[in-house]
Amino acid sequence: MNLAARQSWPFLLILVAGVIAPFLFPTYSNEIAVLWLMIVFASTWDILGGQMGYNSLGNIFFFGAGMYICAVVQIGLYYNVGMYTSGARTTHIVFTNAQYFTGLALGTVVAGIASAALAVVAGWIVLALRGPYFAIGTLGIAIAAAELVSSWEWVGAASGISMPVFPYGPEPQKLFFYFLLFALAFVLLVFLKWLYSTNFGLALNAIRDDEEKAEAMGLHTRRYKRTAWAISAAFLGVAGAIFGNMTGFIEPRDIAFPTTTFNLFMVVMVLLGGKGTLWGPVIGAVIFHTIKEVTWTYFLGWQFIALGALIVVTIVYFQQGVAGWLMEKYPRLFAPRPAARRGAAPALGGALTPHPEGAE
């Protein structure tokens, strides 16, 4: 099998699986949609955590921000947001089909761009910090967002916002948002495959392996860090916008900024699957989500305790994850691409031109 085919079969598999799944398992289409969301969570976390070495405990901030920004755009285009979210509202508000879809489209795009901008701002605060300080700082940002939005009357405070209703009924709604989430996850994976093959991927890995060395070699580390986080944030923002509309109701602590659930799932899924690889986070997301869905009902009442225990066990005993374990057992499967040129070493002397003087 030549190289291109070898590398594209997982994508074809996912494409086929993703497209037919809601028709094969209609009762589970919501759960599978959330699986795609989990893949987005894991893959975006891995950009910073696995590839760049910056472990964020606050990426959920961008998810929730995107959710709220999209809602504000969707509603605000046609109505007064403050009035819409006010608990004292008695008029029934209706969106026409055109209003709904243009609002959704515009809101999603704005959510993505705004989240990226927020990442740049957040970067000013925390990106110069290393290791645990960065982690705690990002956690602080996520918690602060949850707290501040909970007190912000204009967006409904702790009571949240009832989203505009999907015009064609609940069954088409499930399908519509399923495909939106699937498309987002698929686009993200294709994008990341390309991104990691460019200089950007190399730079991220260099920053992870030895940031000081990268600086000493003149790498624009700040530029790369900011851009990586902005990319993560953009995808998370769009995911939040879609998810908010899918659930039909958003509120700050449990849906938009759930710091101890989705926020932490991201990290666990990547650790489970293997940091710093393209497919590791996907594998981790699949394993984690499947186990969680299957056991949730059996662990009733205990599920979060079980979750905490799972985190601890994964960290202590299984840190390199599935991908890491596979790479150790079967190193040949993961050998890097063979060099374009084979045979003897290239000739020296004339081929190496003495370089001209100087800086510019």
Interactions with other proteins, residue window 51-70 (CB under 8 A): 55, 57
Closest CA to 100 of 77, 83, 67: 77
Among 80, 96, 97, 197, which residue sits at the site for other proteins (rule: CB under 8 A)? 197
Among 31, 153, 171, 209, which residue sits at the site for other proteins (rule: CB under 8 A)? 209
Query: Which two three-digit tokens encode residue 264?
Result: 């932490």
Q: How far is CA 34 from CA 54, 101, 285, 290, in A?
A: 25, 22, 10, 11
Q: Is 137 exposed, middle or buried (0-12, 13-18, 19+ CB in 10 A)?
A: middle
d(C-alpha 200, C-alpha 81), whole Å: 40
DSSP 8-class letter at 333 = G
Closer CB to other proteins, 13 or 148, in the complex = 148
In a 3-state reduction of DSSP, which class is residue 250?
strand
Among 93, 125, 183, 291, which residue sits at the site for other proteins (rule: CB under 8 A)? 125
Q: Is 291 in the site for other proteins (CB under 8 A)?
A: no
Sites for other proteins among residues 313-342 (CB under 8 A): 315-317, 319, 335-336, 338-341
Closer CB to other proteins, 21 or 307, in the complex = 307
In a 3-state reduction of DSSP, which class is residue 207?
helix
Sites for other proteins among residues 225-254 (CB under 8 A): 227
Residue with the two structure tokens 């100087």 = 358
Closer CB to other proteins, 10 or 137, in the complex = 137
DSSP 8-class letter at 95 = -
d(C-alpha 55, C-alpha 207), whole Å: 13
Among 2, 90, 91, 199, which residue sits at the site for other proteins (rule: CB under 8 A)? 199
Of 24-32, 94-102, 165-173, 199-207, the segment contacting other proteins by CB under 8 A is: 199-207
For residue 40, the minimal CB distance to other proteins (Å) is: 21
In a 3-state reduction of DSSP, which class is residue 198?
coil
Among 13, 80, 183, 220, which residue sits at the site for other proteins (rule: CB under 8 A)? 220
Closest CA to 37 of 299, 238, 307, 216: 238
Closer CB to other proteins, 169 or 336, in the complex = 336
Query: Which two three-digit tokens encode residue 35?
Result: 């699986």
- What amino acid is encoded at 325 in this protein? W
Closer CB to other proteins, 77 or 129, in the complex = 129
Closest CA to 33 of 227, 201, 239, 216: 239
Binding mask 256-285 for other proteins (x = CB under 8 A): ----x---x--x--------x---------
Of 21-29, 106-114, 211-219, 240-248, the segment contacting other proteins by CB under 8 A is: 211-219
Among 88, 216, 294, 333, which residue sits at the site for other proteins (rule: CB under 8 A)? 216
For residue 199, the minimal CB distance to other proteins (Å) is: 5
Query: Which two three-digit tokens encode residue 353?
Result: 């031109």
d(C-alpha 65, C-alpha 71), whole Å: 10
Among 30, 102, 205, 295, which residue sits at the site for other proteins (rule: CB under 8 A)? 205
- What amino acid is encoded at 2 in this protein? N
Query: Which two three-digit tokens encode residue 351?
Result: 């081929």
- What amino acid is encoded at 227 in this protein? T
Q: How many residues make contact with other proteins (CB under 8 A)?
A: 83
Among 175, 215, 248, 320, which residue sits at the site for other proteins (rule: CB under 8 A)? 215
